[in-house]
Structure 1
Amino acid sequence: MTVLILAEHDGKQISPATLHAVGAAQKLGEIHLLVAGSGCLNVAEQASKIQGIAKVLHADAAHFAECLAEEIAPLVVSLAQPYTHIVAAASAFGKNIMPRVAALLDCLQVSDLTEIVDEKTFVRPIYAGNVFTTVQSHESKLVLTIRASAFQAAELGDNTASIQSVTATPAQNISRFVSRELTQSDRPELTQARVIVSGGRALGSAEQFNAVLTPLADALGAAIGASRAAVDADYAPNDSQVGQTGKIVAPELYVAVGISGAIQHIAGMQDSKTIVAINKDPDAPIFNVADLGMVGDLFEIVPELTKALNAR
């Protein structure tokens, strides 16, 4: 069996999510990685060094520059014939493109995998992560998306996979790129951070959200996340939302401050290695998944915790 993985990149670097997808797919067979873009040979060269990659397919064309789903999906389909599995990370990139690929190929897609049992059997969450279901298919070709946080990332090393140029499919011209607005931050990217400090509606305002959480995040070298309630209340930007309708994270340490623990939030962070919850309500659902819990006033506990960390 041979697997084709669609690489996510920004034109300069391979996305860490793709490294996790490679790590997951090693159980499925020989791996080929598709790098599509414009002027991105450097990315293909970087991809060739990923441990576990047998071959890199490089497609270069001006209409691939922004990786629009309408342009990339036909390319993937044109290359799909020899592959038993076509894979991408379950990021916004993968979720946008892979359903189109599955539809064009008229084959089954299994989404958001958290475990690969064998080449035909997979585990994925349902009901906001409260239940994990085992899915089995005997179709000859499968489209898969991988939950990056559930798998170990493949390493970039001294691997020397061959790079093969492939023919670009014609431009579809049914969509166009207008603009992109990216949040710039000195903090780690939320889905890749080792430590995350998240705040909820209990912080009361955007000012208090920043005043309480920023010093703690600085002390821990952490990224800052937020519950959906905090985002809806404009305490934090949309791209900081953790949860089923936000970002799925699995850091080594997750600190939940003033977050009650709604199902959709827990679905996005329950795979964290260590969860610390701070809440004044001893019956808050967040304590059901927390490894360590502190019941009390967050406006007293968090400053004291920050002070202790800075005094180390």
Structure 2
Amino acid sequence: MSGTQIIDDKSPICIPFILERLKVHNATNQTRPFVIGLNGVQGAGKTTLVRALASKLQEGEGLQTLVCSIDDFYLTRQDQKALAESHPGNSLVQVRGEPGTHDVQLARDFFTALNHGQQVKVPQYDKSAYSGQGDRVSESQWETVNEPGQPRIRIVIFEGWCVGFRPLAPAEVSQKRDAPSRTLHRHPLDHLTFINDRLRDYDAITDMFDAFIHIDAEDTQWVYDWRLEQEIMLRSQKGTGMTDAQVVKFVDAYYPAYELFSDKLRSGLFPGKPGCQLRLVVGRDRKVKQTIFL
């Protein structure tokens, strides 16, 4: 992710949490897979963590584990263009990223099949297609899981920068926009409300989670620095990459969702199920500074 190697200090905290929640899950669910939602601030080491978790669960514990990303459920390029054209003044939906730019029905169908142990294809998205505008990979290239003769998927890790975000009451959106912010004040209230309203569709997925892991940062604005570091390294290695100004513009497209929805995520995703959420707060060096169970 950057010139500084990211050390995995997170999986040793997460694995015991996962196994304890899995034990509770298995006591009442013998067939349905255990679904973990994982939200990681961009650049905080989420990719490193997910790889470590999948390896330790699959190889160390013998649990058939599937990792999938919310990024693979983005709208097709055609549907994304249609969304952008139908809301030409709303910069939040002109490119993929914010809530509302995912195919939630595809995700619901996918998780429903997994929950019933059915054979299902895992969607894939190619961010490099169409000069970086991106598009969904042809379904013929998607991996199939739960095929006859295959081990049944026991654990699903569903990861992404906006996984677990819950919609706010309209008054909360207005209050956050009126308060001091890095990006929210740049957007008309109705544009922010549109994103918030679209997020309600995501609840159907979030409600399926059996456990949740949140990799948070002491200061969310570090995502700008981390992304800049990533591009600097990319430019040094490949001779190409976004300029510093382009990086800021890129992160600005995502940051409104952080400012809107992070506080609610920090307060707990499962009010009626204490102990099901693990929040790891990292410092500027991406190392865990605080561990919180919710």
Tell me the TM-score normalized by structure 1. Answer: 0.28
**Higher helix fraction: Structure 1 or Structure 2?**
2
TM-score of the superposition, structure 2-length normalised? 0.30
